Amino acid sequence: MKFSKIKVNGLNVFYRESGSQDKPVFLLLHGFPTSSQMFRNLMPLLANDFHVIAPDFIGFGQSAAPRHTEFNYTFENLTNYVDDFLKVMQINQFYLYVFDYGAPIGFELATRHPNSILGIVSQNGNIYQAGLGAKWAERAIYWQHPTAALRKSYQSAFAPETIKGQYLGGEQPDSISPDGYTLDIHYTESPDYAERQSDLIFDYQNNVKNYPKFQQYVRDYQPEILAAWGKNDPSFVYQGAEAFKQDAPNTEVHLLDGGHFVLESHWQEIGKLILAKWA
C-alpha cells in the first residue's frame, strides 16, 4: 500500500494506492463524513487483481481543504478535481466503486466519460428518488427555503454522536471497529469544516436534480453494476439498490445485513462479490 499526494490544479490530492500498475484500475470514491480510509480493509483484497486507487476529495481526509470563502464547495467542483486527478494520474479506463457522496461524483464522471467505465460497484450510492430515506424530505424543504437557522441546524450532521450513529446504526452489536468513526470525528475538528460541509449539504439538491441524467447514462450504456447495499441504511434505503434494475436489468443486487457503512462489517463479502464478478 502506498500513501501519496499529487498536485491537481494547485491543490494537493491525497490518495491510497495498491496493486500492480499493469492491472485494470479500480477507482474507489468515498462518501460523507469519511475519506479514503473507509477502504482500508477492502483494498488489500483487491490488490492482486486490480490497480486500486482511492483519493480523498478536496476538503476531506488528507487532501487540501481551502476555506469555503476561497473554494467553491459544490459536487460539480469536487467532480472536476477527481476528473483532473485521473488526467494527472493518466488513468483512462477504470472500474468504479461509489458510496454516498461518491455516487453523484462517480456517476457524473461516467456521464462525461462513458467509455472509461469498465463496471460499477454501488455501496449505498444512490441515484434514484426511491433510494432517498425520510430525512431527505426535510432537506428538500431547506433547499427550497434556505435560512441561516436551518443551515446552522444541519451542523448536527457533524456531531460526534451523529457520526458514530451512522457507523453503528443497522449493524450487529460489536461488529464495527471504532477506528473509522474516531478518525472521521477527528477530521471534523479541522478549521472551517462545518462551513465547507454545510455548503455541500445545500448543494446536494443538484445531485437529486441530476438523477435523471445519471439514469439515462445507465439506460444508454448498460454498464455492469454490482449493488452491494446495507439494507438497514435509513439515509439511502435499499430500494435505491433495486431501482438500478429498472434501467440495467443485468444489475446484480446484494442486500447485506448492515447499515450505511456496511463496508465496515462486510468488507470480506463485498470483496468476494467484486472478485467473483470481474477478477
DSSP the chain: -EEEEEEETTEEEEEEEES-TTSPEEEEE--SS--GGGGTTHHHHHTTTSEEEEEPPTTSTTS----TTTS---HHHHHHHHHHHHHHTT---EEEEE-TTHHHHHHHHHHH-GGGEEEEEESS---SGGGB-THHHHHHHHHHS--HHHHHHGGGGGSHHHHHHHHHTTS-TT-S-SHHHHHHHHHTTSTTHHHHHHHHHHHHHHHHHHHHHHHHHHHHH---EEEEEETT-SSB-THHHHHHHHH-TT-EEEEES--TTTHHHHHHHHHHHHHHHH-
pLDDT band at 69 (very low <50, low <70, confident <90, very high): very high
Instruction: Provide the residue range defining the domain that includes 116.
Output: 2-278
Q: Which residues carry out catalysis?
A: 260
Give me the percent of the chain exceeding a pLDDT of 90.
Answer: 100
Q: Do residues 11 and 39 touch, judged by C-beta distance below 8 A?
A: no
Q: How far is CA 17 from CA 2, 3, 57, in A?
A: 5, 6, 15
Strand partners, 51: 25
- Beta-bridged to residue 55, according to DSSP, are 15
What integer best gives the mean pLDDT of the chain?
Answer: 97
* Reported confidence tier of residue 56, pLDDT bands at 50, 70, 90: very high
Cell of 234: 435509513
What count of other Cβ atoms lies within 10 Å of the Cβ of residue 178?
Answer: 11
CATH number at residue 181: 3.40.50.1820
Q: What is the pLDDT of residue 58?
A: 98
pLDDT band at 81 (very low <50, low <70, confident <90, very high): very high
Mean pLDDT of 147-152: 95
CB 82 within 8 A of CB 105: yes
Confirm if 222 and 249 have CB atoms less than 8 A apart: no
pLDDT digits over 116-144, tens only?
999 999 999 999 999 999 999 999 999 99
Tell me, what's the pLDDT at 28?
99
Residue 3 has a pLDDT of 98
The number of domains in the chain is: 1
pLDDT at 171: 98
Q: Which of 39-53, 95-109, 145-159, 209-223 has the lowest mean pLDDT?
A: 145-159
In this prediction, residue 184 carries a pLDDT of: 98
pLDDT at res. 155 = 93
Q: How far apart are CA 81 and CA 8, in angstroms?
A: 7
Confidence of residue 197 (pLDDT cuts 50, 70, 90): very high
Mean pLDDT over residues 137-165, rounded? 95
- Segment 32-54 shows an average pLDDT of 98
**Residue 8's CB: how many other CB atoms inside 10 A?**
22
- Grid cell at residue 168: 453503528
Task: List the 94-98 sheet strands across, edge first.
Answer: 2-8, 11-18, 51-55, 25-29, 94-98, 117-122, 225-230, 252-256
The per-residue pLDDT for 70 is 97
**Each residue of 201-258: pLDDT tens digit?**
999 999 999 999 999 999 999 999 999 999 999 999 999 999 999 999 999 999 999 9
